[in-house]
Amino acid sequence: MNRIFILTCLCLLTLSSCQDARIYDNKEWGKYFEDAGIKNAGFILRDHTQDAVHYYNLNRDTAHFTPASTFKIFLSLAALELGVVQDDKFIIPWNGEVTKHPEWNRDMNLREAFETSSEPYFKEVARRIGKERLQQFLDTVRYGNKTIGDSVATCWTDNSLKISADEQVGFLKKLYFNQLPFTDRSQRIVRSLMLHETANGRKLYYKTGWGQTPTNQILWVVGFAEYEMKVKEQKGSMNKSDVREYVYFFAQNFDVAKEDTSMEYTQKRIAILNKILTDYTSKKNQTK
């Protein structure tokens, strides 16, 4: 029994996003975290076109953590589906409680709340959805451990609800292809909320999260990237254009010491994401 076969069997048992995919361990991605002073990290990328899953740190990619603000993707879908939030311009008035984030201390709509990751807005959204209806959606989607805990308004921050990086990738892939149990409209709006960058033939969609665990802090960035790449088509190819579209789904998380309050990790997580995407796409282009 060779090493590749053993590795494939292991991944199929532990990675839900490995189904019908080729599996690759990318230990070299660890340098991007190490260079940023990050020790405990994981990254998983699914290349849909190649039916391939690439990962760094298998144990961490399959471990469950609080989703923190990445859960606002799910909350937005549920709110739109139920009409709790009618569209991306739906305003929820500020409750008057001053937070340490000045950008949250005002009335705002869904798009603004998603962009600023407003806790007051999404806590109110969760209350309006209600525990019973949110639980039904969690069970139907099979989101993480499907556990709300004591409060519907804090389940994504109090370590009741947990999800793995691998499960995040599976969830995002379904969102991208309108395969979640929500209307196409709800999924289309939420995808648009996630769009952060459009440049140089790439569209980058993501949601970040920064949460507390009993022992440390955890930082997330999850999403997908669409690339337009020029290729030289073979004679007789069905594709008459010299441009092809590729999509990659990703989930990254890492630990930060509980006492570390440096905001530089906000930029570091996106910088690492871009380095890994650049690393992967450049190597892919070299093989064409």
Boundary (domain end) residue, out of 118, 136, 163: 163
Is residue 10 over pLDDT 90? Answer: no
User: What is the C-alpha separation between 119 and 2, in angstroms, rounded?
Assistant: 49
Q: Are residues 48 and 176 in the same domain?
A: yes
Specify the range with the lowest mean pLDDT, choosing from 55-59, 141-145, 237-241, 277-281. Answer: 237-241
Is residue 125 over pLDDT 60? Answer: yes
Give residue 5's pLDDT band: very low, low, confident or very high (50, 70, 90). Answer: very low
Boundary (domain end) residue, out of 163, 190, 222: 163
Q: Are residues 49 and 186 in the same domain?
A: yes
Q: Name which of 75, 10, 60 is nearest 165 in CA terms.
A: 60
Mean pLDDT of 125-136: 98
| Amino acid, res. 48 | H
Is residue 1 over pLDDT 50? Answer: no
Given the residues 69, 76, 117, 186, the one annotated as active site:
69
User: What is the C-alpha separation between 199 and 204, in angstroms, rounded?
Assistant: 9
Q: Are residues 227 and 262 in the same domain?
A: yes
Give residue 282's pLDDT band: very low, low, confident or very high (50, 70, 90). Answer: confident
User: What is the C-alpha separation between 218 and 211, in angstroms, rounded?
Assistant: 5
Q: What's the token pair of residue 212?
A: 């507390």
Q: Are residues 150 and 236 in the same domain?
A: no
State the residue range of the domain holding 228: 1-64+164-288
Which strands sit side by side in the sheet containing 243-257, from one edge to the other? 22-25, 52-56, 41-47, 243-257, 216-230, 202-212, 195-199
CATH number, position 120: 3.40.710.10
Boundary (domain end) residue, out of 112, 139, 163: 163
pLDDT for residue 229: 75
Q: Are residues 118 and 208 in the same domain?
A: no
Q: Are residues 263 and 173 in the same domain?
A: yes
Is residue 166 over pLDDT 90? Answer: yes
Of the chain, the end-to-end C-alpha distance in Å amounts to 31
User: What is the C-alpha separation between 214 and 159, in angstroms, rounded?
Assistant: 8
User: What is the C-alpha separation between 25 and 14, in angstroms, rounded?
Assistant: 14
Burial class (CB in 10 A: 0-12, 13-18, 19+), 48: middle
If you average pLDDT over each of 86-95, 240-249, 262-271, which comes out highest? Answer: 86-95
Using an 8 Å Cβ cutoff, are 55 and 30 in contact? no
Is residue 33 over pLDDT 50? Answer: yes
In the chain, the percentage of residues whose pLDDT exceeds 70 is: 86
Is residue 231 over pLDDT 70? Answer: no
253-272 pLDDT, tens digit each: 999 999 887 779 999 999 99
pLDDT for residue 17: 61
Count Cα atoms within 13 angstroms, Cβ side, for 112. Answer: 15
Q: Are residues 49 and 146 in the same domain?
A: no
Burial class (CB in 10 A: 0-12, 13-18, 19+), 63: middle
Annotated active-site residue 151? The verdict is no
Q: Name which of 169, 161, 220 is nearest 41 in CA terms.
A: 220
Is residue 160 over pLDDT 80? Answer: yes
Mean pLDDT of 21-33: 93
Listed in sequence order, the residues at least 6 apart from 5 whose beta carbon sits closer than 8 Å to its beta carbon are none
Mean pLDDT of 38-52: 95
Please list the residues that pair with 71 across neighbouring strands. Answer: none
**How confident is the prediction for the chain on average, in pLDDT?**
91
Mean pLDDT of 167-187: 98
Q: Are residues 31 and 110 in the same domain?
A: no
User: What is the C-alpha separation between 31 and 28, in angstroms, rounded?
Assistant: 6
User: What is the C-alpha separation between 151 and 126, in angstroms, rounded?
Assistant: 9
| Model pTM score | 0.90
User: What is the C-alpha separation between 32 and 120, in angstroms, rounded?
Assistant: 34
Q: Are residues 59 and 182 in the same domain?
A: yes
Q: Name which of 271, 151, 131 is nearest 208 in CA terms.
A: 271
Q: Are residues 23 and 133 in the same domain?
A: no
Q: How many domains does the chain have?
A: 2
Q: Are residues 45 and 174 in the same domain?
A: yes
Q: Are residues 134 and 254 in the same domain?
A: no
Is residue 4 over pLDDT 60? Answer: no
pLDDT for residue 235: 60
pLDDT for residue 238: 57
pLDDT for residue 261: 79
pLDDT for residue 171: 98
Mean pLDDT of 80-87: 98
